[in-house]
Structure 1
């Protein structure tokens, strides 16, 4: 049995009763294309960013939360293991994770990253950039924070400034879109950096039920030029009462009933290549609430992928 995968068994013989822990398989070279879960066991970036540590245990907690979800018969689910940040070598861990993602893409899989701190962001971007399928790239980051910090070393707050700099250096067309930004969680310097980088953004207070349709329309217009999309879901985009188990819980946040349709809209473009869930911190979670929300979002992505051919 793979670590983290265990749960209820209603009927060991009836596939209609199966749950994820009964159908998930270890990834091997002969696997048919499917959804490949890969953990990024790191909170080194959070520590460097002076946040609350503990996200290194996020991948294991997420496996536990996924275990009892109902199996999706038309979708193959694989566990591609973890990339760990060892001895504080965050750059090395990000590069190894990127290599894992690019290999998964080459084999036809849909990589879903399980963090870990949001330092996973640069690693996921780099994995797509190293693959054969980027073309014009778009990053959609659901996040209260812009994560455009400058610094001599990578942190959980530098991922997307690193991505922008890498794209410029390698002449990769890149659009960065950040949804759910909190005015009280980003300095004026960060907003200026976003303006200078021509970041498209929506503030958390702009994302309401009454504005959902226009928010989706705006997002799809921004995504129209893209050939490939990387979606990053930082759990602190959600209200703190919904996702307490994060490094920096949101004072306001964007409700789940807004986040879910946005994720569905990104998936429906047919251009989504890579996704990750970031900032799950089990030691700060209450009754595994944040892990359960993260698992629900991955489950909905899996349902959406099972309804259309994997790119």
Structure 2
């Protein structure tokens, strides 16, 4: 969810200012209106679409015993031929459910408040502060699979697209949809006296819901895989919906600190996410084994799920620490 939210913000700012009703107030106008210097930006975009998204692993897997060939491959998100994701891999729009209850009061996709501050020597000095309010989102993701990477563009290429090998492709997920309530984040660049580059501290109204999630097993596919006699389709675990909320509640608390850690000694750096949002309830509705058409085995409910991490030996702190780095 956090990655998708950041994707919305980056994509939104990259789109032309006349895409919808983008509003911006300069320092002078804002000061006259509120008595404060700074900059407010309202991003009035109703939808963001991405045709395909590739994440290339340029050296592949070196372990031959696991089938590795050290040849570049990629994770790809593309259209799955249905609905909003028929030809688009990712479609992000506002969540208009419940008569607009999950939208910002401004009806913008996001509102940004930007200030610069001299800071103090004890907290690293000057910094840029960006307060972000993000509307509830309706996110649809198409088919996710793996493919052989295409050739890198050369000086003679007519575009910068690399893409993948359509003849060497295996689907992993059939697609999914998720809806969120409004969220807020505070971002600090330069110094970060708040303790992290990004601080999420909000309540997602209505919780988080993921629908139509299908996990595919292509190792069982035979022939063309179209499901006709002698041509077995890939096996699938399909889930109608997954709902996540705070324990014994309907909303979902978001308390995360996101930091980018630089090089130190042999460690070349990584992204660190520390979560301290508290226990959650999960309700998984309609679990189908084999295919989406198979009879459901029922629903699965998990109450009061709480994770812990250990900052030191024998110490258990509620929450989780996730690190992401290259290898």
| Structure with higher helix content | 1
Structure of larger gyration radius: 2
Query: TM-score band (shorter)?
Result: under 0.3
| Structure with higher strand content | 2
Instruction: Give the TM-score, by structure 1 length.
Output: 0.22
Higher RCO, 1 vs 2 (CA within 8 Å, ≥6 residues apart) = 1
Instruction: Give the TM-score, by structure 2 length.
Output: 0.21
